[in-house]
A and B are shown apart, each in its own frame.
Chain A
Amino acid sequence: DQQVKQNSPSLSVQEGRISILNCDYTNSMFDYFLWYKKYPAEGPTFLISISSIKDKNEDGRFTVFLNKSAKHLSLHIVPSQPGDSAVYFCVAQSGGSYIPTFGRGTSLIVHP
């Protein structure tokens, strides 16, 4: 029972273009969302987060959008760079819990 769903296992994008990674969740108790990035042979690293009181959070080339009514969030990377090639995990948490729920990840490949 996947409470956090990343339905695209992979995404291929040209350098300089926008990358959009999507995530859906089913648990309405989730109120804090994060994206982690993972390179091969390394552990995941935190990228950006958003609280349910916001609908957008921006950090440099990375923007996360949250649509609570649709239980959907997306990560936009503009412009995409080859170094962004990695697996991106969508993560959700509910208030007061330290236990995150990870999606299965989307493998992003940015072609030069």
Chain B
Amino acid sequence: DTGVSQNPRHKITKRGQNVTFRCDPISEHNRLYWYRQTLGQGPEFLTYFQNEAQLEKSRLLSDRFSAERPKGSFSTLEIQRTEQGDSAMYLCASSPPLRDQETQYFGPGTRLLVL
């Protein structure tokens, strides 16, 4: 399968614990995005990378959240000191070098439940 993959698919953690999610984009895609989706809402942008550079961060991304893409390939999203309000689906997407306006290719997401 050559699509975007995310691991783990599900994560249950206790409040206050740290969690880390991984995203592997489609290999030739240079842009990578993270989103958060809560029940009844559409995906909300968190941050995006062009190659290894993190170019934009949403104000939704509090200090407890950090994302990396060290070699311009896979990316990790870490949440420190998780809170119950962090419970959501975390989606990753990638897109190829710009031709026209772009479309994004989404992974299946990581569902986080903070108890």
Which residues of A pack against B, CB within 8 Å? 4, 9, 32, 34, 36, 41-46, 49, 51, 89, 91, 93, 98-105
Taking a contact as CB atoms closer than 8 A, the residue among A42, A93, A102 that contacts B44 in the complex is A102
Q: Is the CB of A102 within 8 A of B43?
A: yes
Q: Give me the interface of B with A, judged by CB distance under 8 Å.
A: 4, 31, 33, 40-45, 48, 56, 91, 93, 95, 101-109
Which residues in A have their C-beta under 8 angstroms from that of B4? 43
Extra contacts besides A43-B109, A45-B105 (16): CB < 8 Å: A32-B101, A34-B103, A36-B106, A44-B43, A45-B106, A49-B101, A49-B103, A51-B101, A89-B42, A91-B42, A98-B31, A98-B95, A99-B48, A100-B45, A102-B43, A104-B40
Instruction: List chain A residues, Cβ under 8 A from B91.
Output: 43-44
Interface of A is mostly: strand
- Looking at the assembled complex, report how far the CB atom of A11 sits from the nearest CB atom of chain B, in whole angstroms: 16
Give the tally of cross-chain contacts (CB within 8 A). 49
Asked whether, in the complex, the Cβ of B102 is within 8 Å of the Cβ of A43, the reply is no
What's the Cα separation between A45 and B31 when bound, in Å? 17
Chain A nearest Cβ from B48, distance in angstroms = 6
Q: Are B103 and A98 in contact (CB under 8 A)?
A: no
A residues in contact with B93, CB < 8 Å: 43
